[in-house]
Chain A
Amino acid sequence: MREIDVSGVTECVKRLCMEANYDLEEDVLEAFDRAIAQEESPVAIDVLEQLKENARIAREERIPICQDTGYTVVFVELGQDVRVVGGDLNGAIQKGVRQGYGEGYLRKSVCHPFTRVNTGDNTPAIIHLEMVPGEAMRIFVAPKGGGSENMSRVHMLTPAVGVEGIKSYVVNRVREAGSNPCPPTIIGVGIGGTFEQAALIAKKALLRPVGSRNEDSELAELENDLLARINCLGIGPQGLGGRTTALAVHINLIPCHIASLPLAVNIQCHAHRHKGTIL
């Protein structure tokens, strides 16, 4: 059995919080380039160029890509042959977030729902822990901005509406969100499971590299179809009009109850921050 000390986890989470907020990943930058090549709107091209320039400044000067450095969402895949030592795992992750947001000059954006008093250190982070085979620990940090999260929805559809009903709900959600979630967006779609699981798999779908093909050919086709329909809405980058409303649609699907058809749409802004590592 392999031992992992929690101090290493804290150090890793701290580093990932900072890097995620300064370094936009290559998959997103490449998606910007593909969008620029296809855009018809001069304003849209100007916005996309500004986003590339913004990413360059952020990376070189260690200034956060976006001032909304997000609610910190941490995905942990814990190998079942790992023994965590030196303290508790949850506490170690929270400590990493606290240190990362403090030392990294990141905004603290977490508050009490009623009083709106800020917790002051961006904790508590949301932690999704999953047991997997093996003796490694994978950690993903995905800070999530409020603007795009506010435009996300979970809806319990009637099974009778079928695939067409799913398509029209997703496209309508993106239409109604309009300029609010900072397009061009990445649309995470969770189909099936239960109320809460649909939302979780929609969020997890966002972690796939932007522009990668779904392993399931039927879902890959559905993703292409949805992306084409979304990009016919004309909303465009920042909602100013154009061909690029979304950069990608990512779908996760699992079985559901015979009475249900849960659907979650998790909208991700173009400042799609996600950094992972293996301990």
Chain B
Amino acid sequence: MSEPFRLATPLNDEALERLEIGDRILITGTLYTGRDAAHKRMVDLLDQGGELPFDVRGQVIYYVGPTPPRPGYPIGSAGPTTSYRMDAYSPRLMELGLKGMIGKGMRSEEVIEAMKRYRCVYMAAVGGAGALLSKSIKKADVIAYEDLGPEAIRRLEVESFPVILVNDIRGNDLYEEGAKKYRR
């Protein structure tokens, strides 16, 4: 396997153009967390003409609902949740400048189409490796929707957070290509 790419947030189109499906990437910088409930609130807010709790331009959203941290730890177990539940909301955020999403599992055709249109990528972290992934998260602060508990929006500071590129800005899909290669 080739050496992983190093990627710093916020992301710009230039960096995204170089990325291809199957690339292993280590992200350093800021990630924002959000799951079903936070996405619904954000999109409801936009529908009412409100402003999002953070500026999504150039940012990456990580679909995670961590466990509570033990004393002395910034965060608990923090692996990705299944992404298709966010499909209904993601294009709206891409339209506003979201550049990356991290989760696990397949996205809908509409979302893959929107990634091409708005130049955004989808990356997978290893699902069920929450203890390992928590080691790359150095800081976590709740910035909105605290009442949602594990589903609150957090700002994470990460160092060399490991992901793999699943959907690039050209409409390619690693889940399809990977399975094709090993199907018998």
Q: Is B178 a contact partner of A270 (Cβ separation < 8 A)? A: no
- The complex places the Cα of A271 from the Cα of B79 at a distance, in Å, of 12
Taking the complex as formed, is B175 at the interface, i.e. its CB lies under 8 A from any CB of chain A?
Answer: yes
Taking the complex as formed, is A47 at the interface, i.e. its CB lies under 8 A from any CB of chain B?
Answer: yes
Q: Is B126 a contact partner of A63 (Cβ separation < 8 A)? A: no
List of A residues within 8 angstroms of B82 by Cβ: 146-147, 150, 180
List of B residues within 8 angstroms of A243 by Cβ: 182
Contact with B along A43-66 (1 / 0, CB 8 A): 100110011011101100111111
Name which residue of chain B comes closest to A53, CB basis.
B132
Stretch of B7-15, B42-50, B64-72, B88-96 that contacts chain A: B64-72
Q: Is A61 a contact partner of B37 (Cβ separation < 8 A)? A: no
Taking the complex as formed, is A112 at the interface, i.e. its CB lies under 8 A from any CB of chain B?
Answer: no
Q: Is B79 a contact partner of A67 (Cβ separation < 8 A)? A: yes
Name which residue of chain A comes closest to B85, CB basis.
A150
- The complex places the Cα of A179 from the Cα of B124 at a distance, in Å, of 10
Taking the complex as formed, is B105 at the interface, i.e. its CB lies under 8 A from any CB of chain A?
Answer: yes
Taking the complex as formed, is A211 at the interface, i.e. its CB lies under 8 A from any CB of chain B?
Answer: no
List of A residues within 8 angstroms of B67 by Cβ: 63-64, 67, 69, 105-107
- The complex places the Cα of A64 from the Cα of B133 at a distance, in Å, of 11
Interface of chain A: mostly helix, strand, loop or mixed: loop
List of B residues within 8 angstroms of A235 by Cβ: 178-179
Contact with A along B77-107 (1 / 0, CB 8 A): 1110110100000000000000000001110
Taking the complex as formed, is B18 at the interface, i.e. its CB lies under 8 A from any CB of chain A?
Answer: no
Chain A: interface size category: 35 or more
Name which residue of chain B comes closest to A269, CB basis.
B128
Contact with B along A110-130 (1 / 0, CB 8 A): 000000101000000000000
Q: Is B70 a contact partner of A63 (Cβ separation < 8 A)? A: yes
Q: Is B179 a contact partner of A182 (Cβ separation < 8 A)? A: no
Taking the complex as formed, is A233 at the interface, i.e. its CB lies under 8 A from any CB of chain B?
Answer: yes
CB of B78 to closest CB in A, whole Å: 5
List of A residues within 8 angstroms of B132 by Cβ: 50, 53-54, 57
- The complex places the Cα of A240 from the Cα of B123 at a distance, in Å, of 12
How many residues of B are in contact with the other chain, CB < 8 A? 47
Q: Is B134 a contact partner of A63 (Cβ separation < 8 A)? A: yes
Asked whether A234 and B68 contact (CB < 8 A) given A50-B132, A67-B130, A107-B76, the answer is no
List of B residues within 8 angstroms of A270 by Cβ: 128
Q: Is B178 a contact partner of A51 (Cβ separation < 8 A)? A: no
CB proximity to B under 8 Å, residues A211-268:
232-236, 238-243
Taking the complex as formed, is B53 at the interface, i.e. its CB lies under 8 A from any CB of chain A?
Answer: no
List of B residues within 8 angstroms of A58 by Cβ: 77, 131
- The complex places the Cα of A46 from the Cα of B36 at a distance, in Å, of 29
Q: Is A242 a contact partner of B182 (Cβ separation < 8 A)? A: yes
Asked whether A179 and B105 contact (CB < 8 A) given A234-B182, A240-B124, the answer is yes
Name which residue of chain B comes closest to A271, CB basis.
B128
Contact with B along A125-164 (1 / 0, CB 8 A): 0000000000000000000011100100000000000000
List of A residues within 8 angstroms of B84 by Cβ: 180
- The complex places the Cα of A66 from the Cα of B125 at a distance, in Å, of 12
- The complex places the Cα of A269 from the Cα of B106 at a distance, in Å, of 16
Q: Is B69 a contact partner of A232 (Cβ separation < 8 A)? A: no
Taking the complex as formed, is B174 at the interface, i.e. its CB lies under 8 A from any CB of chain A?
Answer: yes
Q: Which residues of B are in contact with A by a Cβ distance under 8 Å?
A: 1, 22, 36-37, 64-70, 73, 76-79, 81-82, 84, 104-106, 124, 126-135, 149-150, 162, 164, 174-175, 177-184
Extra A-B contacts (8), CB below 8 Å, given A43-B178, A63-B130, A239-B106: A43-B22, A63-B131, A65-B128, A107-B77, A180-B105, A234-B184, A238-B126, A269-B127
Top 9 closest pairs, chain A to chain B, by CB: A241-B178, A234-B183, A234-B182, A64-B77, A54-B132, A180-B105, A58-B131, A54-B129, A67-B130
